Amino acid sequence: MHGLFYGSYIVLWILLIVLTVLVLLLYRHFGMMSLGTLEGIQRDGLPLGESASELVGVTMARVNASRCLLQRIIIRTLQSLTMEPALSTDIAFG
């Protein structure tokens, strides 16, 4: 009886590994079909040869009024970001 259990257990693991490999190959096949052409590559993101625009962003953080070590680290980090000319930082305490 134990032999039948262990045999079926091994067969199920082998079947799981085979099916996993087949699913990964299927994903690869459809990925190659959709991204294998120039149109597929240019579908998302910037067109080839075009440069990205300058990074401009706003960072907002809401920190509790308790002056703990973590809060001081966060405040110093956010204040160092304001030294960058393209970034602005607002800190709100609540």
Domain residue ranges of the chain, discontinuous segments joined by +: 2-42, 57-93
CB atoms within 10 A of CB 15: 10
Contact present, 22 and 16 (Cβ < 8 Å): no
Q: Is 70 exceeded by the pLDDT of residue 3?
A: yes
Q: Which pLDDT tens digit goes with each residue over 16-30?
A: 999 999 999 999 998
Q: Which pLDDT tens digit goes with each residue over 43-93?
A: 777 777 778 776 655 555 555 555 677 777 877 777 776 665 555 555 555
The per-residue pLDDT for 66 is: 58
The per-residue pLDDT for 49 is: 78
pTM above 0.75, yes or no: no
